[in-house]
């Protein structure tokens, strides 16, 4: 692999192992849309939250927090699209406070598309997509004020969050809003679990959109990435076994084959991974 | 498929493949140099980001401007926000212009230093396509004299300010800055006079080298002095009050609220409602006891148990979450790159 600077054979192999199953399962999902996806209570709660908002006549809030343009935002858009469709169908007010102007443009377009797909574009209010501030705590202060003033019925906190996560979630908690949160940041998961009614952890954020839309591409991706994870799990187990053998057991064995595992490990590490 | 979507698809694919190859391939591969226009491309992204800031500004003006115009509920808050925004824009622009001016003034001395150094190096490399060194030295003397006159003027202004100032700390700093700059100015002046201005066949060029170094020192001390003068101006004081005094303090206050919210969230989380919450409470109790001296007094094993809980089960769970999210993110990125997207996003 002469000439490559960062990619090694091992890295390319791993990318192949992740992407390969995804492509296979997307194709399979196109043929069979009834692929099973386990229920996520947090995702089921989205309908409940929309219903509650319709009952009490108060708005819904969807925020993607500090998420910038990237895969996490894209995963959130699927859920936003679903929530916005519900809002359009039941004539609910959907507020989407923003802290990143580029994300705001994407969010506005997604909500507009959702209203259009429900045939209710006239009900779409561009001012419901509000830019608050690109400063973390100024955004949090703006969000808390908005939640208090509007006395929201439900809040969806999907995306990347940092220290402001608890401020946002507690603001919803104080007005008695039903809250569903989803983040890939392990540090913030604990805060959301404490303050929200439902929390999607890590990759569940990516699965939510597939679960809601049952689109073949998203379903296939979900299936494919699960298989890819399986490959990683097997690799981790093999790695643990090899490391355990080398460090704890190999010194007690002699004879032919005793040096085989260290050799394999050396090859994996220096020849395949770092080539 | 409409043209808009096709265009987005093409740009996404090209952008994706460029960044992938730029990362993977070496800087130079045969006749191709992949990173050649990387800076320009990155600047393009910065430009797009800057344009997006304009979007945010327009959104704020529309939301709060309409509320103000039609006197809707909360219009006073909107008025305060717009007023604060306008004030901050004006003050920040004034601050930026002033700091730019200071930088430009100081850059004049730096240019002279470079010119002086260049005269010396050109003479030593025996360049023939430039003016002879003594003529260039005359030009340097002319430009240097007028530049030093500007420095003199600012020294007088700084001395006046130091005389008027009631702030002892600022007074001391200004006096020290004045002394240092005046000393460098004197040194530079005398070196300017030592420049060789007559035609000659042999020269050591040492006055030029010395002058370049002296100009460098003068530039640093003068810039500091100009900065000190600016720090006592009304613009800077208003800027500091708005940014450091208000904005930063309000941000810190928001952060401080977290302490109270953590307590209330923890209270809700630790109510024993199920076996899971019981387990969580037990783990939290061990972690807390392992953190405080009282825990060690109860049982000496708490700190070790706390460490085990944090390093083994907690880290394992955290890594599992991160790994799952990373794989899902990679797949999502791949889908974005190839525009393999569901109908709803087209």
Residue B75 belongs to some domain of the structure? no
pLDDT above 90: residue A154: yes
B228 and B282 co-located in one domain: no
Q: Which of A70-74, A187-191, B32-36 is predicted with the least confidence, judged by mean pLDDT?
A: B32-36
A125 and A225 co-located in one domain: no
Domain membership of residue B23 as a residue range: 1-32
Nearest to A168 by CA among A144, A135, A146: A144
Residue A2 belongs to some domain of the structure? no
What mean pLDDT do residues A178-202 have? Answer: 92
- Report the gap between the CA of A255 and the closest CA in chain B (Å): 35
pLDDT band at A2 (very low <50, low <70, confident <90, very high): very low
Q: Look at residue B292 in the predicted model and tell me its pLDDT.
A: 92
Tokens linked to B158: 């700084």
Residue B52 belongs to some domain of the structure? no
Residue B28 belongs to some domain of the structure? yes
Tokens linked to A201: 């952890």
pLDDT band at A254 (very low <50, low <70, confident <90, very high): low
- Report the gap between the CA of B335 and the closest CA in chain A (Å): 9
- Report the gap between the CA of A209 and the closest CA in chain B (Å): 11
Residue A57 belongs to some domain of the structure? yes
Q: Would the CB atoms of B342 and A213 count as touching at under 8 Å?
A: yes
What mean pLDDT do residues A101-124 have? Answer: 92
Domain membership of residue A229 as a residue range: 9-34+219-273
Tokens linked to B167: 């702030």
A209 and A257 co-located in one domain: no
Nearest to B108 by CA among B216, B185, B224, B196: B216
Residues 6+ apart with CB under 8 A from A228: A17, A18, A21, A22, B327, B331
A265 and A209 co-located in one domain: no
**Which strands make up the sheet holding A60-65, listed edge to edge?**
A129-131, A94-98, A60-65, A154-160, A178-183, A198-201
Q: Look at residue A7 in the predicted model and tell me its pLDDT.
A: 65
Task: Write down the residue that tokens 């094993």 correspond to.
Answer: B301
Name which residue leads in pLDDT, A255 or B202: B202
Q: Which residues on B lie below 8 Å from A219 (Cβ)?
A: none
What backbone torsions phi and psi does residue A195 show, to the nearest 5 degrees? -110, -15
- Report the gap between the CA of B203 and the closest CA in chain A (Å): 51
Domain count, chain A: 2
Hey, is the C-beta of A179 within 8 angstroms of any chain B C-beta? no
Q: Which residues on B lie below 8 Å from A215 (Cβ)?
A: 342-344
Percent of chain B with pLDDT over 70: 97
SS3 B154: helix
Name which residue leads in pLDDT, A164 or B32: A164
Percent of chain A with pLDDT over 90: 48
Mean pLDDT, chain A, whole residue set: 86
Q: Look at residue A271 in the predicted model and tell me its pLDDT.
A: 65
A182 and A103 co-located in one domain: yes
B107 and B222 co-located in one domain: yes
Q: Look at residue A95 in the predicted model and tell me its pLDDT.
A: 96
B121 and B228 co-located in one domain: yes
Q: Would the CB atoms of A167 and B48 count as touching at under 8 Å?
A: no
- Residue window 118-137, chain A: list those with CB within 8 Å of chain B: 126-127, 129-131, 134-137
| Residue B246: count of CB within 10 angstroms of its CB | 13
Highest mean pLDDT among A114-123, A249-258, B35-44: A114-123
CATH number at residue A203: 3.40.50
pLDDT above 90: residue B100: yes
The answer to whether B178 and B229 have CB atoms below 8 angstroms apart is no
Q: Look at residue A1 in the predicted model and tell me its pLDDT.
A: 40
What mean pLDDT do residues A3-15 have? Answer: 69
What mean pLDDT do residues B62-89 have? Answer: 92
A27 and A144 co-located in one domain: no
Q: Look at residue A3 in the predicted model and tell me its pLDDT.
A: 46
Q: Would the CB atoms of B24 and A7 count as touching at under 8 Å?
A: yes
B185 and B282 co-located in one domain: no
B296 and B228 co-located in one domain: no
Residue B335 belongs to some domain of the structure? yes
A49 and A94 co-located in one domain: yes
Of B212, B232, B252, the last residue of a domain is: B232
- Report the gap between the CA of B297 and the closest CA in chain A (Å): 29
Q: Would the CB atoms of B324 and A72 count as touching at under 8 Å?
A: no
Q: Which residues on A lie below 8 Å from B28 (Cβ)?
A: none
Q: Which residues on A lie below 8 Å from B60 (Cβ)?
A: 131
Residue A3 belongs to some domain of the structure? no
Residue of A nearest to B58 (CA): A131
B223 and B312 co-located in one domain: no
The model scores a pTM over 0.90:
no
d(CA A107, CA A99): 11
Q: Would the CB atoms of B52 and A105 count as touching at under 8 Å?
A: yes
Tokens linked to B328: 């899902």
Residue B3 belongs to some domain of the structure? yes
A27 and A95 co-located in one domain: no
Q: Look at residue B219 in the predicted model and tell me its pLDDT.
A: 93
Residue of B nearest to A137 (CA): B251
What mean pLDDT do residues B246-269 have? Answer: 88
A66 and A167 co-located in one domain: yes
SS3 A158: strand
Q: Look at residue B342 in the predicted model and tell me its pLDDT.
A: 61
- Residue window 15-74, chain A: list those with CB within 8 Å of chain B: 15, 18-19, 22, 26, 70-72, 74
Inter-chain CB pairs, A–B, below 8 Å: 172
A208 and A79 co-located in one domain: yes
pLDDT above 90: residue B185: yes
Q: Which residues on A lie below 8 Å from B25 (Cβ)?
A: 3-5
B167 and B284 co-located in one domain: no
pLDDT above 70: residue A37: yes
pLDDT band at B54 (very low <50, low <70, confident <90, very high): confident
Residue B294 belongs to some domain of the structure? yes
What mean pLDDT do residues B65-79 have? Answer: 91
Of A162, A182, A213, the last residue of a domain is: A213
Residue A27 belongs to some domain of the structure? yes
Q: Would the CB atoms of A225 and B327 count as touching at under 8 Å?
A: yes
Q: Which residues on B lie below 8 Å from A232 (Cβ)?
A: 323, 327
Q: Which residues on A lie below 8 Å from B340 (Cβ)?
A: 26, 217
- Least CB-CB distance to A104: which of B55, B320, B322? B55
A186 and A236 co-located in one domain: no
What mean pLDDT do residues B181-209 have? Answer: 86
A193 and A230 co-located in one domain: no
pLDDT above 80: residue A85: yes
Mean pLDDT, chain B, whole residue set: 88
- Report the gap between the CA of A197 and the closest CA in chain B (Å): 11
Residue of B nearest to A30 (CA): B342
Strands A178-183 and A154-160: parallel
Q: Would the CB atoms of B344 and A113 count as touching at under 8 Å?
A: yes
Highest mean pLDDT among A240-249, A250-259, B325-334: B325-334
What mean pLDDT do residues A255-260 have? Answer: 60
Percent of chain B with pLDDT over 90: 45
A67 and A199 co-located in one domain: yes
Name which residue leads in pLDDT, A174 or B204: A174
Nearest to A219 by CA among A38, A17, A14: A38
What mean pLDDT do residues A121-139 have? Answer: 91
Residues 6+ apart with CB under 8 A from A234: none
């Amino acid at each position: 692999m002469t000439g490559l600077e960062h990619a090694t054979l091992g890295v390319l192999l791993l990318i192949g192992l992740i992407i390969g199953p995804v492509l296979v399962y997307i194709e399979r999902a196109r043929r069979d849309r009834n692929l099973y996806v386990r229920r996520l209570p947090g995702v089921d709660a989205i309908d409940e939250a929309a219903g509650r908002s319709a009952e009490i006549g108060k708005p819904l809030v969807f925020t993607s927090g500090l998420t910038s343009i990237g895969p996490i935002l894209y995963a959130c858009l699927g859920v936003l699209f679903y929530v916005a469709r519900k809002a359009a169908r039941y004539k609910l007010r959907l507020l989407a406070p923003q802290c990143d102007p580029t994300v705001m443009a994407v969010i506005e377009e997604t909500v507009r598309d959702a209203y259009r797909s429900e045939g209710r574009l006239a009900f779409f209010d561009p001012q419901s997509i509000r830019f608050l501030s690109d400063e973390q705590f100024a955004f949090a202060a703006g969000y808390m004020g908005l939640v208090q003033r509007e006395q929201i019925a439900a809040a969806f906190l999907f995306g990347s969050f940092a220290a402001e996560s608890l401020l946002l979630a507690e603001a919803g908690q104080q007005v008695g809003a039903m809250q569903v949160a989803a983040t890939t940041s392990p540090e913030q998961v604990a805060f959301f679990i404490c303050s929200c009614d439902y929390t999607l952890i890590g990759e569940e954020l990516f699965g939510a959109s597939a679960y809601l839309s049952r689109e073949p591409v998203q379903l296939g991706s979900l299936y494919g990435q699960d298989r890819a994870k399986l490959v990683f799990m097997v690799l981790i187990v093999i790695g643990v076994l090899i490391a355990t053998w080398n460090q704890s057991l190999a010194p007690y064995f002699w004879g032919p084959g005793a040096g085989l595992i260290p050799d394999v490990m050396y090859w994996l590490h220096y020849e395949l991974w770092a080539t | 498929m409409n043209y808009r979507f096709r265009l987005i698809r093409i740009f996404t694919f090209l952008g994706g493949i460029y960044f992938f190859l730029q990362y993977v391939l070496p800087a130079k591969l045969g006749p191709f140099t992949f990173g050649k226009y990387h800076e320009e491309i990155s600047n393009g992204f910065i430009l797009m980001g800057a344009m997006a800031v304009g979007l945010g500004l327009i959104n704020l003006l529309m939301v709060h401007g309409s509320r103000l115009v039609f006197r809707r509920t909360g219009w006073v808050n909107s008025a305060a926000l717009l007023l604060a925004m306008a004030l901050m824009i004006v003050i920040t622009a004034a601050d930026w212009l002033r700091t730019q001016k200071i930088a430009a003034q100081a850059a004049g001395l730096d240019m002279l230093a470079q010119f002086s150094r260049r005269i010396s190096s050109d003479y030593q490399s025996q360049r023939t396509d430039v003016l002879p060194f003594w003529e260039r030295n005359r030009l340097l003397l002319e430009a240097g004299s007028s530049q030093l006159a500007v420095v003199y003027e600012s020294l007088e202004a700084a001395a006046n300010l130091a005389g008027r100032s009631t702030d002892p700390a600022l007074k001391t700093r200004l006096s020290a800055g004045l002394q240092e700059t005046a000393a460098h100015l004197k040194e530079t002046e005398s070196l300017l006079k030592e420049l060789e201005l007559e035609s000659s066949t042999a020269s050591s060029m040492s006055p030029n080298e010395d002058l370049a170094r002296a100009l460098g020192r003068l530039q640093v001390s003068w810039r500091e002095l100009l900065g000190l003068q600016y720090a006592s101006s009304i613009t800077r004081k208003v800027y500091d009050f708005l940014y450091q005094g208000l904005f930063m303090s309000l941000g810190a206050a928001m952060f401080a609220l977290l302490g109270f919210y953590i307590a209330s969230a923890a209270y809700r989380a630790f109510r024993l409602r199920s076996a899971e919450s019981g387990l969580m409470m037990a783990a939290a109790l061990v972690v807390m006891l392992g953190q405080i001296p009282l825990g060690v007094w109860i049982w000496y094993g708490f700190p070790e148990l706390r460490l085990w809980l944090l390093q083994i089960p907690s880290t394992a769970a955290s890594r599992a979450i991160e790994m799952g999210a990373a794989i899902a993110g990679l797949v999502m990125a791949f889908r974005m790159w190839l525009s393999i997207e569901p109908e709803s996003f087209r």
